[in-house]
Amino acid sequence: MLDYRAPLRDMQFILDELAGLERIAKLPGCEDASADLVSAVLEEAGKFASGVLAPLNTVGDRQGCRLEGERVIVPDGWQAAYDQFRDAGWIGLSLPPEHGGQGLPKLVSAPVWEMWFSANMAFAMLPQLNVGQTEALMIAASEEQKATWLEKIVSGEWAATMNLTEPQAGSDLAATRMRAEPTDDGAYRLFGQKIFISYGEHELTPNIVHLVLARLPDAPPGIKGLSLFLVPKYLLDAQGDPGQKNDIRCIAIEHKMGIHGSPTCTLSYGDDGGALGYLVGEPHTGLATMFVMMNEARFNVGVQGVALGERAYQAALAYARERVQGRDIVSGEAGKAILAHPDVKRMLVSMRARLMAMRALLYTAAGWFDIARHHPDAEGADKRRRYVDLLMPVAKGWCTEVGNDLCDEAIQVFGGMGFVEETGVAQLFRDARVITIYEGTTGIQANDLLGRKILREDGATLRELIADFRETADQLGRKELGDLAQALHDQANLLDETIDWLLAHKADTAELYAGAVPLLHLLGIACGTWQMARLALAADTRRETGDGDDDYLLGLVELARFYMATQAPQARAHGHTLRQAGGVLTRFLEGEL
Amino acid sequence: MLDYRAPLRDMQFILDELAGLERIAKLPGCEDASADLVSAVLEEAGKFASGVLAPLNTVGDRQGCRLEGERVIVPDGWQAAYDQFRDAGWIGLSLPPEHGGQGLPKLVSAPVWEMWFSANMAFAMLPQLNVGQTEALMIAASEEQKATWLEKIVSGEWAATMNLTEPQAGSDLAATRMRAEPTDDGAYRLFGQKIFISYGEHELTPNIVHLVLARLPDAPPGIKGLSLFLVPKYLLDAQGDPGQKNDIRCIAIEHKMGIHGSPTCTLSYGDDGGALGYLVGEPHTGLATMFVMMNEARFNVGVQGVALGERAYQAALAYARERVQGRDIVSGEAGKAILAHPDVKRMLVSMRARLMAMRALLYTAAGWFDIARHHPDAEGADKRRRYVDLLMPVAKGWCTEVGNDLCDEAIQVFGGMGFVEETGVAQLFRDARVITIYEGTTGIQANDLLGRKILREDGATLRELIADFRETADQLGRKELGDLAQALHDQANLLDETIDWLLAHKADTAELYAGAVPLLHLLGIACGTWQMARLALAADTRRETGDGDDDYLLGLVELARFYMATQAPQARAHGHTLRQAGGVLTRFLEGEL
């Protein structure tokens, strides 16, 4: 079984130095996020993650879930852990105080959720749904609905789900068929089947609140005909307590490669007269609500990339320090741990560099979310909202791809022991494989980035971001960090050239979209380079003031250098591919495959 | 369950046009490999792979193996399939005729083994061991030993294993502890434990012949003290039939992430007085024999990379042709299969391009093996032997890394259906994860490439290979394929620069070895570029003569272009990393991790 220790020092450094915790704690509504409180929260979360959730991760993987009739049985220990998690108030950490949450900024909840996902992703997917559903209901629900449902969802007394996918409607929600027919008293009866519903059924809570995309009888076809419904597992009685069972059945659970502890359900609605539900928001606007939630959900999956990568890194580092094998390549000395081998050291430093780049990007983006939501200055808020919109496909698409790579590399460090299940690192690799798929595949993220986020506005926000890159590079240039400045300027130039090329080829739709994923990787690496440059800048500044452990700070500067040496060159390769591949691809006939 | 159809057209094209089947069939000892016979062999093997082995692949994964006492129970269907496989004579395909084999060149057996691995890798690992063991015994066994054992091994009447790994001796065989004590009658008694022994125990055959690395009492320490022993599961009686059970026990089997159908055994030798074994070759020369075998074994694992990638590609292509989702990005038309989406098409073309590059390299190398072994002209034979030696770490390391990438990409094409086990593509992904590990990890291959294959001879053979690259480029330049010529010249230049840099930094051992894996990737892509250039050249020549399906041939030319656009640029990124990463890495303190 793998230990997990929350990387508090790294998290805190990024919060303080890169994501601007101090500044965000001054925003209206964020005043609770004092330095002391935040440190205390992180420390407590770290203890809970290591002590309660992490040890259950293997249990969840080995036992998995099972369907008995219509009952879903989750792994041993899930109930006790959930009760503790709920009672400790973790679910409401960043949720609205008016419904019982603590209202802390997203910048604080981001590292906390990273810990939950590192410790036990299959478990943490359950309370994560409460967060997502709260966001959706805050956007679209009526005041009465909020009063009825939100307190129980925010506290975790009841569980939550999202019901989007149907067999013919995966990435393509336009193909949704689930029907909702109005009843005489203003409610609806739902009929149809949803698949891939995480925690669609279980008995961990006395009720489950499903949010379901469905079509009203008068719905226009396609995505403009989707409405959102709240459909509880148990209808509420006069006292607001769970009463009669609704007409929803779990008819199957998936046998998956990973996240075995999270039941993935097929739910059948309305086999016995219709599942009673309530319209959330206006008719036919369900997808708009979903889209607002989407940034939130995608951000969280990006965090899963860091989280699984971090745990894989910790495991690989521990193994590399303890496993003795071979001789030192320079001294010929025997009896050294494999961390002394240059290739193993390369893998571990590379893992740490990519982790820090991703974490810095995600926490920085979390801060942008907070500024966008709370900043009193409309212009400042708007800029950060645009940054969030632009980079969310990168945060999701790139961090999940890299997260997978890290889990893969951890297995490589373990060698044969990584391929056997007992060491636990194989589970991380299997669990991670879903994150580039759910909440929109990498291809979907890349299309979103290219079309809606760049082409639609002719790259305007991306040009603003590039100006920020150059500002960081200039700051580095004024220190003794000219090599890092140069590497970042290179990335800025590459991005500028890339936008120019995209705009010049705007009409060649198929050709451009063939390069969407290389573009996403390119921008991910460029953002990673920027964040590592910021990290080095902050570390160097702290070194100058003598504030902090000098070895640690110097290590961060060297880590940034390693990132520039190993990751940054790949951005240019992706740029080359972007410009060249689409042309060949459009000529390529499907029959030639 | 996934279908498998042997890619006979692609295989045949590469055999004929790139690997020089016709020329090899003229070598002394290879005369049986007529065009007709080879086609017939490939066709029959394809039928056997699709019809018998492929349907069992899922069974093997779901049932796995189990240990009952000291008995290992393999999946249902394994026995019948093995009986058919053995009776059809497939095991001896390329093995010595004097011991009952058919003696066909490696060039013919390479595509056949690709089929077995595509169809059912976990199963095919069993007969593969007979091939490896035959090679070892041919090198080192006495005539009497050959007469006693080889016929049964070549026919597959008895099974074979390789026993190298011990808990403290994985990549580092110097740490081997297994003891062999001489008996009065010239035999030996072995004591110790071996782990990770594929098919170390089963009841598919009436005997199992173990080849075991162990130390004699007077052995020097380290790798120069290893001797090789033949240790049968059942000692032979006076008639040469399996008689008394030897002192070997299977005490555990591994619970692995993949290849569940292949039992990975811990074998305990000598718990009851010593397992009786026979010295193969001279004392203390076991590792030399192993090293001669290594090229063979590593080559086969490279073939596994292509094989799993091919099956994953076939699955992804079939799914992409049948799964309807979303709208055409240009026309807006609905109801199209996802293959019409540029990103999905990109993934599939990219998979096919990498498959062809790897297959071309491996089959070409198989032809080099044959030339090295059979060519009457010593100089010609020697050149090809040196090429084999140089490129075997690339064939193993790079083809397995790419094979993993292909299985990963296939899951991405399947989306959510790739993460659930029922589609079968997840199994390929899990199975593939071992191939970059066993028979020497990618890091081990890379160190071998850098140290023994390049630095030791100051890059001499690699310079010869680069000259071959340039010759192909010049031939392309004389056709209307100047863009491909340019791309290949670029790779040749990059390799020349790389050798120059390596030689200039020969003294900085730790720094150089930190870049060994990037170097391996660089050379892999460069070789892939060369092979794709050769493919395009051959296809274009065939087009000129009107010999073959023009769409197919044109598709190969475009596939080469796509390879140059998407893979070739990464070689330069790896070169950049090679030159820059080591310096940072050697400064990086382990305490900073």
pLDDT in tens, B63-116: 999 999 999 999 999 999 999 999 999 999 999 999 999 999 999 999 999 999
Q: How far does chain B reach from its first CA to its final CA, in angstroms?
A: 44
Cα of A588 to nearest chain B Cα, Å: 7
User: CA B194 → CA A36, A89, B71, B164, distances in Å?
Assistant: 55, 51, 17, 7
The whole-number pLDDT of residue A28 equals 95
pLDDT at A318 over 80: yes
Q: A511 to chain B: which residues are within 8 Å by CB?
A: 342
- Of the listed ranges A138-147, A337-346, A477-486, B287-296, the least confidently predicted one is B287-296
Mean per-residue pLDDT, B4-21: 98
pLDDT at A292 over 80: no
User: Alpha-carbon distance A122 to B181, whole Å?
Assistant: 52
Q: Do the strands A208-214 and A159-163 form a parallel or antiparallel pair, or are they unpaired? A: parallel
| Token duo for residue B517 | 């894996």
Q: A174 to chain B: which residues are within 8 Å by CB?
A: 326-327, 334
Closest-approach residue (CA) in chain A for B549: A592
The whole-number pLDDT of residue B496 equals 98
Closest-approach residue (CA) in chain B for A254: B420
Mean per-residue pLDDT, B560-566: 96
Of A201, A205, A222, A202, the C-alpha closest to A213 is A222
User: Alpha-carbon distance B158 to B86, whole Å?
Assistant: 10
Mean per-residue pLDDT, A23-38: 96
Q: Which amino acid is at A144?
A: E
Question: Are A168 and B324 within 8 A, CB to CB?
Answer: yes
Question: Are A569 and B573 within 8 A, CB to CB?
Answer: yes
> Whole-number mean pLDDT of chain B?
96
Question: Are B573 and A577 within 8 A, CB to CB?
Answer: no
User: Alpha-carbon distance B354 to B359, whole Å?
Assistant: 8
Q: Which of 1.10.260.40, 3.30.70.1380, 2.40.110.20, 3.20.20.140 is the CATH number of B137-285? A: 2.40.110.20
* H-state helical runs in A259-341: 286-322
pLDDT in tens, B510-524: 999 999 999 999 999
> Whole-number mean pLDDT of chain A?
96
**Banded pLDDT at A440 (limits 50, 70, 90):** very high
User: Alpha-carbon distance B72 to B84, whole Å?
Assistant: 21
The whole-number pLDDT of residue B587 equals 86
Closest-approach residue (CA) in chain B for A351: B593
B279 touches B228 (CB < 8 A): yes
Radius of gyration of chain A (CA): 24
User: Alpha-carbon distance A130 to A293, whole Å?
Assistant: 12
Question: Are A420 and B255 within 8 A, CB to CB?
Answer: yes
Is this complex scored with an ipTM above 0.85? yes
pLDDT in tens, A447-472: 999 999 999 999 999 999 999 999 99
Question: Are A437 and B422 within 8 A, CB to CB?
Answer: no
The string over A413-452, giving b where at least 16 C-beta atoms fall within 10 Å of a residue's C-beta and e elsewhere, is bbbbbbbbbebbbbbbbbbbbbbbbbbbbbbbbbbbbbee
pLDDT in tens, B229-259: 999 999 999 999 999 999 999 999 999 999 9
Angle at A5 between CA A4 and CA A8, to 5 degrees: 145
User: Alpha-carbon distance B228 to B161, whole Å?
Assistant: 13
pLDDT in tens, A487-520: 999 999 999 999 999 999 999 999 999 999 999 9
Q: For residue B178, which phi and psi values (nearest 5 degrees)? A: -45, 130
Mean per-residue pLDDT, B180-202: 97
Q: At what angle do helices A56-63 and A78-87 cross, to 10 degrees?
A: 140
**Banded pLDDT at A31 (limits 50, 70, 90):** very high
Mean per-residue pLDDT, B349-376: 97
pLDDT at B141 over 90: yes
Q: List Cβ neighbours of A44 (8 Å cut-off, separation of 6 or more).
A: none
Helix, strand and coil in chain A, % to nearest 5:
60, 10, 25
User: Alpha-carbon distance B314 to B475, whole Å?
Assistant: 33
- Cα A83 to its chain centre, rounded Å, is 24
pLDDT at B294 over 90: no
Sign of the CA dihedral running A191, A195, A198, A204: positive
Q: A352 to chain B: which residues are within 8 Å by CB?
A: 593
Cα of A577 to nearest chain B Cα, Å: 5
Closest-approach residue (CA) in chain B for A335: B175
| Better-scored residue on pLDDT, A332 or A40 | A40
CATH fold group of domain A157-285? Butyryl-CoA Dehydrogenase, subunit A; domain 2 (2.40.110)
Residues pairing with A324 in the sheet? A337
Closest-approach residue (CA) in chain A for B575: A569
Q: B411 to chain A: which residues are within 8 Å by CB?
A: 433, 437
pLDDT in tens, A564-588: 999 999 999 999 999 998 988 988 8
**Banded pLDDT at A112 (limits 50, 70, 90):** very high
Candidates B428, B529, B590, partner chain A, best to mutate (most A CBs within 10 A): B590
The percentage of residues in chain A with a pLDDT greater than 90, rounded to a whole number, is: 94
Ranked by mean pLDDT, the top range of A371-380, B109-118, B374-383 is: B109-118
Radius of gyration of chain B (CA): 24
* H-state helical runs in B151-237: 151-155
Q: What is the 3-state secondary structure (H, E, C) of A226-261?
A: CEEEEEECEEECCCCCEEEECCEEEEEECCECCCCC
Mean per-residue pLDDT, A134-148: 96
The whole-number pLDDT of residue A26 equals 97
Q: A125 to chain B: which residues are within 8 Å by CB?
A: none
User: Alpha-carbon distance B125 to B202, whole Å?
Assistant: 13
Question: Are A255 and B580 within 8 A, CB to CB?
Answer: no
User: Alpha-carbon distance B224 to B287, whole Å?
Assistant: 7
Q: A565 to chain B: which residues are within 8 Å by CB?
A: 576-577, 580-581, 583-584
- Could you say which of A327, A341, A434 has the minimum Cβ distance to residue B419? A434
E strand or H helix at A424? none
Cα of A385 to nearest chain B Cα, Å: 27
Interface A–B counts its CB contacts (< 8 A) at 267
B21 touches B330 (CB < 8 A): no
| Token duo for residue A103 | 């209202």
The whole-number pLDDT of residue A1 equals 63
**Banded pLDDT at A23 (limits 50, 70, 90):** very high
Q: Which amino acid is at B525?
A: I
A502 touches A449 (CB < 8 A): no
The whole-number pLDDT of residue A77 equals 98
E strand or H helix at B405? helix B378-414
Number of H helices, E strands in chain B: 20, 12
Closest-approach residue (CA) in chain A for B445: A343
Question: Are A569 and B566 within 8 A, CB to CB?
Answer: no
With tokens 């170097």, the residue in question is B519
Of A217, A373, A384, the C-alpha closest to A284 is A217
| Token duo for residue B40 | 């017939």
Candidates A336, A429, A525, A566, partner chain B, best to mutate (most B CBs within 10 A): A566
> Which active-site residues of B does the annotation give?
439
B12 touches B47 (CB < 8 A): no
DSSP-based three-state secondary structure for A251:
strand
pLDDT at B384 over 80: yes
A527 touches A363 (CB < 8 A): no
The whole-number pLDDT of residue B1 equals 64
Question: Are A346 and B585 within 8 A, CB to CB?
Answer: yes
- Could you say which of B334, B346, B586 has the minimum Cβ distance to residue A581? B346
A428 touches A410 (CB < 8 A): yes
User: Alpha-carbon distance B486 to B549, whole Å?
Assistant: 27
Q: At what angle do helices A106-140 and A35-48 cross, to 10 degrees?
A: 90
Compute the half-sphere exposure of residue A566: CA atoms within 13 Å on the CB side of its CA: 28
Question: Are B254 and A420 within 8 A, CB to CB?
Answer: yes
Q: Tell the burial category of B545 from Cβ atoms under 10 Å away from its Cβ (0-12, 13-18, 19+).
A: exposed
Mean per-residue pLDDT, B561-580: 96
The whole-number pLDDT of residue A294 equals 77
pLDDT at B291 over 90: no
| Token duo for residue B235 | 């000692």
* H-state helical runs in A375-514: 378-414, 416-419, 425-432, 442-448, 460-477, 482-504, 509-514
User: Alpha-carbon distance B204 to B262, whole Å?
Assistant: 12
Mean per-residue pLDDT, B323-350: 94
Q: Do the strands B71-73 and B66-68 form a parallel or antiparallel pair, or are they unpaired? A: antiparallel
Angle at B377 between CA B375 and CA B378, to 5 degrees: 95
Residues pairing with B269 in the sheet? B192, B248
Number of neighbours of residue A144 by Cβ within 10 angstroms: 9
Angle at B557 between CA B14 and CA B465, to 5 degrees: 60
How many residues belong to chain B? 593
Q: For residue B511, which phi and psi values (nearest 5 degrees)? A: -65, -45
**Banded pLDDT at B2 (limits 50, 70, 90):** confident
Question: Are B343 and A559 within 8 A, CB to CB?
Answer: no
Question: Are B415 and A441 within 8 A, CB to CB?
Answer: yes
